[in-house]
Amino acid sequence: MTKSRLPANRTPEIGAFFPRDRNWHPPALTPAYKTSVLRSPQRPLLSLDNTLSELTGPVFGHNILGELDNDLIHNFAGPGKSAIGPRILVYGCLLDERGIGVAGALLEVWQANAGGRYRHKKETYLAPLDPNFGGCGRTITGEDGSYCFRTIQPGPYPWPNGPNDWRPAHIHFSIFGHGFAQRLITQMYFEGDPMIWRCPIVRTINDRRAIEGLIAALDMEATIPMDARAYKFDIVLRGRRSTLFENRIEGN
Ligand SMILES: [Fe+2]
């Protein structure tokens, strides 16, 4: 499904990883995003050289994935059932700082259901759970760094930040590349969602191009007629064009 633009003779990334560009990423302390006040470092950061274990590990077994792990419409559904909501495909390429696909990376996703409700014991939003939707899945990138999973489009939800703040519809991503230095946690948004530009978390990002890099484009070419629309989201690990690393661990 994914049309790769990557050269067939690419070589895997080895050696030292590119450092993260902290001018491209949002500052850690952004008071309008209330949680950042307590979570941001109080002292200047120290930069350490990559150690061997950061460059070579961790290594995880690729045989741990189940058949439905990349299908959130069905992976928690009862027999003959499926999750409620707009059916979508999310696909793209995982790229290193040179624009070369990263093969064999573990990509995990989690999200709210179509009503904006998470399946989590601390969730308090009044929207109902969908008994056939768990909200998490995973996949491994292919030889050219491509990935694809099926899910339903999550709903926006309110969160206790300001008096009336809502998160835009989003999917959380966690990515393990070839080592700890290639870990990325980020969020994907949907093209055309007016809530993106009102979100206090998104607004911690100073550069509009960086925000646009987090917005998946509707792709009618990859859409499956009478089944699911498709959204394309390419992810860059490290380097100057890195997809932004969010500063909230999980849950929002
Ligand atoms: Fe969230």
> Among residues of the chain, what percentage have pLDDT more than 70?
81
Q: What is the pLDDT of residue 45?
A: 79
The Cα–Cα gap between 123 and 114 comes to 15
Concerning whether 117 is annotated as a catalytic residue, the answer is no
For the residues 36-48, what does the mean pLDDT come to?
A: 87
Concerning whether 178 is annotated as a catalytic residue, the answer is no
Above 90 in pLDDT, residue 183?
no
Q: How many angstroms separate the Cα of 133 from the Cα of each of 74, 85, 115, 122, 189?
A: 8, 10, 11, 17, 20
The Cα–Cα gap between 138 and 105 comes to 10
Dump pLDDT digits (tens) for 68-114. 999 999 999 999 999 999 999 999 999 987 888 999 899 999 999 99
The Cα–Cα gap between 225 and 104 comes to 30
Cα of 117 from ligand 1 centre, angstroms = 9
> Is residue 182 a contact partner of residue 103, using CB atoms and an 8 Å limit?
no
Above 90 in pLDDT, residue 186?
yes
> Is residue 102 a contact partner of residue 94, using CB atoms and an 8 Å limit?
yes
Concerning whether 157 is annotated as a catalytic residue, the answer is yes
From the list 143, 162, 72, the residue with the least C-alpha distance to 103 is: 143
> Is residue 111 a contact partner of residue 171, using CB atoms and an 8 Å limit?
yes
Q: What is the pLDDT of residue 251?
A: 46
For the residues 119-136, what does the mean pLDDT come to?
A: 95
Q: What is the pLDDT of residue 59?
A: 66
Residue 58: asked if its preceding bond is cis (omega within 30°), the reply is yes
Cα of 127 from ligand 1 centre, angstroms = 14
Above 50 in pLDDT, residue 173?
yes
CATH class of the domain comprising 67-236: mainly beta
- Selecting among 172, 178, 238, 241, the annotated active-site residue is 172
The Cα–Cα gap between 64 and 50 comes to 28
Domain definitions of the chain by residue range: 67-236
Cα of 61 from ligand 1 centre, angstroms = 28
Concerning whether 118 is annotated as a catalytic residue, the answer is yes
For the residues 32-47, what does the mean pLDDT come to?
A: 90
Dump pLDDT digits (tens) for 195-238. 999 999 999 998 999 999 999 999 999 999 999 999 999 999 86
